[in-house]
Amino acid sequence: MTQPFTTADQRVQLLANGAARATGSDTDPLPVVRLLTPDAHATWLLAALDPADGDTAWGLIDLGIGMPELGTVKLSDLAGIVGPHQKPVMRDLYFRASRSLSEYVRLAQLDGSIPD
């Protein structure tokens, strides 16, 4: 069995950030969770979850092609993705945000990938 993409506390924070975003009071949140493909180079640094559907996440997306950008992804879609060695998307259990999402975006665009 695979681990869930978020803990209960992370989901609460993602939904709170999503509610703030939906009302236009976006405050450049800290990313809450980092998802990745262990056998490929894709990374999702997620900061908010749409409270309307509870499935659409927003954050910094890096598909491993040197063009990280802000965007949305459905967690249900990520559940079906596997890398070249059939490893599923997983949550980085040790991720702790060290900067705001906009700073991750700035650094990722300079480097071509999301910084650790």
The proportion of the chain whose per-residue pLDDT surpasses 90, expressed as a percent, equals: 73
56: which 2 tokens?
Answer: 């659409």
Asked if residue 2 has pLDDT above 60, the reply is no
* Amino acid, single-letter form, for residue 63: L
Using a 10 angstrom Cβ sphere, with 0-12 exposed, 13-18 middle and 19 or more buried, the burial of residue 93 is: exposed
Instruction: For residue range 9-38, list pLDDT tens digits in order.
Output: 999 999 999 999 999 886 799 999 999 998
Asked if residue 58 has pLDDT above 80, the reply is yes
CB atoms near residue 32 (< 10 Å): 26
* Amino acid, single-letter form, for residue 94: Y
Using a 10 angstrom Cβ sphere, with 0-12 exposed, 13-18 middle and 19 or more buried, the burial of residue 3 is: exposed
Looking at residue 65, its pLDDT comes to 87
Residue extents of the structural domains in the chain: 8-111
* Helix (H) / strand (E) containing 76: helix 75-78
What SS3 class is residue 61? strand
What SS3 class is residue 20? helix
- Predicted TM-score of the model (pTM): 0.91
